[in-house]
Amino acid sequence: MGGRIDCYLDIVSFYSYVGFADLRANLDKLAAHGVEVEFHPVFLGGINNLSAKAVYLSTDAYRAAARLSLPYEGGPKDLMAVARTLSPLRALHFIKANYPLETFLSAFAFLFHKLWTPPHVSLVVDANVEAALAEATETTEGGRKLFTAEDVEKIMAGRESMKERVKQLTGEAVERGAFGAPWLWATTSEGKTQSFFGSDRFNHIYRFLGVPFQDVAVLPPSKL
Element holding 84 (H helix, E strand)? none
In this predicted model, which residue has the larger pLDDT, 19 or 62? 19
Give dist(CA 37, CA 73) in Å, integer: 29
**φ, ψ at 4 (rounded to 5°):** -150, 145
Question: Could you tell me the pTM of the whole model?
Answer: 0.88
The upper half-sphere exposure of residue 57, i.e. CA atoms within 13 Å in the direction of its Cβ, equals 14
Neighbours of 211 (CB within 10 A): 20
pLDDT in tens, 17-36: 999 999 999 999 999 999 99
Give dist(CA 96, CA 100) in Å, integer: 7
Structural class in CATH, domain 3-209: alpha beta
pLDDT in tens, 132-167: 999 999 999 999 999 999 999 999 999 999 999 999
**Mean pLDDT of the chain, nearest integer:** 90
Neighbours of 195 (CB within 10 A): 17
